[in-house]
């Protein structure tokens, strides 16, 4: 679409210049520009800088209900939404307090009137670490009657997993069983949660206003648009275009793996991060996969489509805006209806079998395996899930690298059905990203994976594979601070000679005394495979001594197998070296979690 100066308030030169600019913009850049313009307009009109400013100085807020917002969050998304809800509620005259579930005393529920629960789901349908105590309390025998309570639940999840939003569903069911009344229907949000979460927050606030009979205050719907006034701050919705500074392979010759060290420039972004945070980035799908999907359906790559609120071409939408490498239940449900394939529809009746079938398949498999006649370009785009950003643990400390941010990325490659496949973000970063390329990025804060506040506190870091990334950031930060605390790394991978990531840096830190101890487990350097959990058990007495003198324990890496295995190994260490039974060992680890001395960044 081009601007016609005869039908616009722009001069011919302005229209021509804007048309030239628009031809160079990628879809995510259109998003940012739209937000920037909206923010500029609001600022020019004297718009308030925050929702709270919608009331005049000195004007009394109408008395509203009291709302307690509780969040369970592993990565920080739930916390961010809880803070947004709290800010908007307070701006409406609703007395809102926002609390980490780990800091909330469950027995206080019996004295609450209105509660909002915002929680993610972790692992195999389990609550995040900071939600465990409250989760177990409301499901236990000591849970009180909650007939006086009105509540709302916002569940965060990922439809590519079998136990989608399970923790939110469990909280909802438990509250209802205890007699509480739902103010609004639970919202189950996929990875592209922004619009659904905004709608749920607006609905909840409107219901709270109705409960209080509030009038003469801003509406929740109008407050939902407030972020546009802050569009010049780079966020998940308005990412910064970061230039690639370096992209190198960390694995040695002969390795069966490819792990990249990627550096980006944050210069002039104003973005800041702490060790433990993640970098979110918006990837691009493989053009070859995009072309194969379009060819399979005999569609025109230049066909005009709308992806959300973005007008683009079919090829552009598939490359930038739709998930192609993962299949989810909602997508399969839609495609089963479009194709009329009975076998595909039958798969949906067995969750476990469906999960197994989905593993390793992509959108092209779905199209070729269950042909649907007469599908047009817009129907295809409406059927597919939005392409979400990918999160990577940051492998650098800003104190050490200034306006840079570093990632450690393992290329995901596999063969299935006679066709080579790859992870959308990892292969984009490793195969198709040249130096000087600009990548849309944002910072995802993770307050649940932080260095000890006390620089003298010891640390035990368990990070096999790319799980070593945040610990590189931890050590850079501790070196800059000249922290005195002892540091112990347990690292594992396949082979010592080719897969010891950042080996020279870790050995230098060991020589300099920044790192006190390194224990490694290279699984394929001997006949019998060894892993980091075995090193923990072998050093049980030393691990126990470190914990007893106040060590902070960190685990980063694979959530499916490594993290549960390490957790079990820690229980064994506490039982064997600490002389405790299983129940007491479990309580010991739980208490470390409450004290923020046992923290996990797992994926």
pLDDT of 60: 36
How close are the terminal C-alpha atoms of the chain, in Å? 41
Query: 121-179 pLDDT, tens per residue?
Result: 987 789 998 999 999 999 999 999 999 999 999 999 998 888 899 999 999 999 999 99
Query: 250-267 pLDDT, tens per residue?
Result: 999 999 999 999 999 999
Q: Higher model confidence: residue 451 or residue 232?
A: 451
Question: Do 499 and 586 reside in the same domain of the chain?
Answer: yes
pLDDT of 544: 98
Choose the final residue of a domain: 362, 383, 404: 383
pLDDT of 64: 59
In a domain, 62, yes or no: yes
In a domain, 248, yes or no: yes
Q: How many domains does the chain have?
A: 4
Question: Do 409 and 421 reside in the same domain of the chain?
Answer: yes
Question: Do 111 and 94 reside in the same domain of the chain?
Answer: yes
* Mean pLDDT in residue range 512-534: 95
In a domain, 355, yes or no: yes
Q: What span, in angstroms and rounded, lies between the C-alpha atoms of 542 and 576?
A: 12
Question: Do 423 and 562 reside in the same domain of the chain?
Answer: no
pLDDT of 381: 98
- What's 179's domain CATH number? 3.40.50.360
Q: By mean pLDDT, which of 32-46, 75-89, 351-365 is the weakest?
A: 32-46
- What's 317's domain CATH number? 1.20.990.10
pTM of model > 0.85: no
pLDDT of 65: 83
Question: Do 122 and 159 reside in the same domain of the chain?
Answer: yes
pLDDT of 37: 59
* Mean pLDDT in residue range 324-330: 94
Domain with 427 in it = 236-283+389-446
pLDDT of 216: 41
Question: Do 271 and 291 reside in the same domain of the chain?
Answer: no
pLDDT of 232: 57
In a domain, 341, yes or no: yes
Query: 48-66 pLDDT, tens per residue?
Result: 333 333 333 333 344 558 9
Question: Do 200 and 64 reside in the same domain of the chain?
Answer: yes
CB 524 within 8 A of CB 495: yes
Question: Do 316 and 226 reside in the same domain of the chain?
Answer: no
Query: 346-367 pLDDT, tens per residue?
Result: 999 988 889 899 999 999 999 9
Measure Cα distances from 488 to 427, 464, 513, 539, 552 in Å: 32, 13, 11, 12, 10
Q: Higher model confidence: residue 434 or residue 115?
A: 115
Report the residue count for the chain.
603
In a domain, 195, yes or no: yes
pLDDT of 40: 46
| Bridge partner list, 460 | 488, 553
pLDDT of 46: 42
Q: For residue 210, what is the enclosing H or E element?
A: helix 194-212
β 419-422/413-416 pair status: antiparallel
In a domain, 352, yes or no: yes
Question: Do 279 and 377 reside in the same domain of the chain?
Answer: no
pLDDT of 57: 32
- What's 571's domain CATH number? 3.40.50.80
Q: pLDDT band at 211, cuts 50/70/90?
A: confident
Given a cut of 60, is residue 30 above it in pLDDT? no
pLDDT of 122: 84
């Amino acid at each position: 679409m081009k601007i016609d100066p005869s039908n616009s308030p722009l001069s011919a030169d302005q229209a021509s210049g804007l048309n030239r600019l628009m031809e160079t913009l990628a879809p995510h850049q259109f998003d940012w520009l739209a937000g920037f313009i909206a923010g500029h307009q609001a600022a020019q009109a004297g718009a308030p800088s925050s929702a709270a400013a919608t009331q005049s100085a000195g004007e009394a807020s109408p008395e509203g209900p009291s709302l307690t917002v509780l969040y369970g969050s592993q990565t920080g998304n739930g916390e961010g939404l809880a803070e947004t809800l709290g800010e908007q509620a307070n701006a409406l005259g609703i007395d809102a307090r926002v609390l980490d579930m780990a800091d909330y005393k469950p027995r206080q529920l019996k004295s609450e009137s209105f509660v909002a629960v915002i929680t993610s789901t972790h692992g195999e349908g389990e609550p995040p670490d900071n939600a465990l105590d409250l989760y177990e309390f409301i499901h236990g025998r000591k849970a009180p009657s909650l007939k006086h309570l009105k509540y709302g639940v916002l569940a965060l999840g990922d439809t590519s997993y079998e136990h989608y939003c399970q923790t939110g569903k469990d909280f909802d069911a438990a509250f209802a069983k205890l007699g509480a009344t739902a103010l609004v229907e639970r919202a189950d949000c996929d990875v592209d949660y922004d619009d659904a979460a905004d709608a749920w927050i607006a609905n909840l606030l409107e219901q709270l206003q109705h409960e209080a009979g509030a009038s003469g205050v801003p509406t929740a719907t109008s407050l939902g648009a407030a972020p546009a006034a802050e569009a010049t701050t780079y966020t998940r919705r308005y990412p910064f275009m970061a230039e690639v500074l370096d992209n190198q392979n960390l694995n040695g010759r002969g390795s069966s793996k490819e792990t990249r060290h990627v550096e980006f420039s944050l210069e002039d972004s104003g973005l800041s991060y702490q060790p433990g945070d993640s970098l979110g980035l918006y990837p691009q799908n493989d053009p070859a996969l995009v072309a194969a999907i379009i060819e399979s359906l005999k569609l025109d790559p230049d066909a005009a489509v709308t992806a959300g609120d973005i007008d683009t071409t079919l090829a552009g939408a598939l490359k930038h805006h739709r998930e192609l490498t993962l299949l989810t239940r909602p997508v399969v449900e839609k495609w089963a209806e479009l194709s009329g394939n009975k076998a595909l529809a039958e798969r949906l009746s067995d969750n476990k079998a469906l999960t197994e079938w989905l593993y390793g398949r992509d959108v092209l498999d779905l199209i070729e395996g269950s042909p649907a006649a007469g599908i047009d370009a817009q129907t295809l785009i409406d059927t597919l899930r939005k392409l979400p950003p990918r999160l990577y643990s940051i492998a650098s400390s800003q104190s050490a690298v200034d306006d840079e941010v570093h990632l450690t990325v393992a290329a995901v490659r596999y063969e299935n059905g006679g066709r080579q496949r790859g992870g959308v973000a990892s292969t984009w970063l490793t195969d198709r990203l040249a130096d000087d390329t600009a990548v849309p990025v944002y910072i995802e804060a993770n307050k649940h994976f932080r260095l000890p506040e006390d620089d003298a506190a010891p640390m035990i870091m368990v990070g096999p594979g790319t799980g070593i990334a945040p610990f590189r950031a931890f050590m850079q930060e501790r070196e800059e601070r000249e922290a005195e605390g002892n540091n112990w790394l347990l690292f594992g991978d396949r082979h010592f000679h080719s897969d010891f990531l950042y080996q020279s840096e870790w050995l230098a830190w060991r020589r300099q005394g920044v790192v006190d101890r390194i224990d490694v487990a290279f699984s394929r350097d001997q006949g019998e495979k060894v892993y980091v959990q075995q090193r923990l058990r072998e050093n049980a007495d030393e691990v126990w001594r470190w914990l007893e003198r106040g060590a902070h324990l960190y685990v980063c890496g694979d959530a499916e197998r490594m993290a549960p295995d390490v957790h079990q190994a820690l229980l064994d260490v506490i039982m064997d070296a600490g002389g405790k039974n299983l129940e007491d060992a479990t309580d010991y680890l739980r208490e470390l979690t409450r004290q923020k001395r046992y923290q996990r960044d797992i994926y």
